[in-house]
Amino acid sequence: MDLLKQESFQDAIVTVMGLGRYGGGGGLSATKWLLKHGSQIVITDLKDAAELKESVDGVMEWFNKYREEFPNRTIYQPLFILGQHRSEDFLSVDCVVQSPGVQSEVDFVQQAKDKGVAIESDVSLFFRYFPFPTIAVTGTRGKTTTTRLLGAMLKKMDESAVMAGNIVMSPLEVLDDLVVKKTPTPVVIELSSWILESLPQAFADLQKGPDIAVITNVFPDHLSRYKDFDAYIASKEIMIARQTPAQFTVLNYDNEPLRKLAEKVTGKLFWCSGTPQEHDGCYVKEGKIVFRQDGIETVILPVVELGLKSPENLENVLTAACAAMLRGVKVVDVAATLREFVGASEPQELVREVDEITFINDTVAITPNATIETLKKFGVHGDVVLIAGGEDQSVDYKELVEVIAKSCKHVILLPGTASDSFETMLQGKVETERALEMADAVAKARAVAVRGTVVLLSPAAPGAPLFANEFVRGEQFRDAVRTL
């Protein structure tokens, strides 16, 4: 199959591995795009038809819509193989599009690779067919905040700017609309290590990487998936391995493992640091955020004016500002965004699926009523593992406790006085345990979750003093989930 030509997908047999639930995932978006472009799709997922009913119904709606919209193009009815995977669906096809969170199914993908079947993802397809400049962001921690900061800055330059990847949506949702526009739309994509692993062949075929590659940091937090820390770092190197001399790399100088990547950078390197540097980049100098390019320094704003006050967010501020300046955002707009931006989170964010377990971030639910509404959506089957708790607001938890008892199989309680109340009120109704911090809570939730479970962060209370605000709590949840 010639992946250099988008037209090759017409009549091609393509397996989509992992459809997913709740919408917005790469599997659903890839299916929609492939249907539109005339592929013969085999959709395979270990979840059964009942679990995936909403997603299956959505796929069939798209099938009927595209069949009417494109009468001169063959639109094939998709084949669903649910509740199982079959080797023939990976060996007798032209391409496999793999979705995040299918770690337990790598043997099928390896079989396809061994036979020479192309392995793609929704993001690799986007990079293949989007011809305009793209910013890509990865890192162990802070990549969501950095991506959202960048997205806000880019929207100052162009209101139609797109944020995609791990957050918000699959970039395939907007690809076809973006390529027909007369002027390039600014795009920033957040990339996990898993998604990066789907990109080497696309970058090799294109003979280039992201136009601006941002790596916030690298820590040894993902070793359950990699044989060692070096292997994990190698997954991040995919971002920069194929960049051309005209493309840009933005690295965090204050993260020691990233300093070791300097010799592997093939684009123009920009360092970011909380202390002054002689190299081009973005750094703090005399209490101000300063951007340097070709030796010329531009003051963006004083550090004291930042909306993100926590020290751990400084590297996110620096890398986002650097990338925005390189993309051509005006300094006044970069500064305005840094003053206005106070956090990155949305209600009921699908973080990822791991081994058929769905992780949902609802950190902005800081009242009992907000958590009740979320549980009504995700707790229908009574199989939710809930991460909740925090500081007491002197509110009535009685109704929330009743809903938890019906919706949840297990509750992990974060430190705080509200958690003390929950633990007492839930005694004898649902099993509870305490966690010391977010990483501990996610690890405990993963230990009790089984296939089909939803792990839901919906605290029903503020997080102080453990978390500076709900956005920090949500960021820590994302980071912890992505280490699984």
For the chain, domains (ranges, CATH) are: 1-120 (3.40.50.720), 129-344 (3.40.1190.10), 349-481 (3.90.190.20)
At residue 28, the pLDDT reads: 87
Q: Which amino acid is at 164?
A: A
Among 288-302, 356-370, 413-427, 469-483, which is the least confidently predicted range? Answer: 469-483
**Of 125, 94, 119, 139, which is closest to residue 29 (Cα–Cα)?**
125
State mean pLDDT over 331-342: 95
395 or 69, which is more confident?
69
Is the confidence at residue 386, as pLDDT, over 60? yes
State mean pLDDT over 107-119: 91
**Of 409, 389, 406, which is closest to residue 457 (Cα–Cα)?**
389
Contact in structure between 42 and 15 (CB atoms under 8 Å): yes
State mean pLDDT over 106-134: 92
Name the percent of the chain lying above pLDDT 70.
95
State mean pLDDT over 109-131: 93
Is the confidence at residue 419, as pLDDT, over 70? yes
**pTM of the predicted structure, to 2 decimals:** 0.81
At residue 227, the pLDDT reads: 80
Per-residue model confidence as pLDDT tens digits over 225-268:
678 888 888 889 999 999 999 999 999 999 999 998 888 999 99
59 or 351, which is more confident?
59
Is the confidence at residue 121, as pLDDT, over 60? yes
Report the chain's mean pLDDT, rounded to a whole number.
Answer: 90
Report residue 81 as tokens.
């193989």
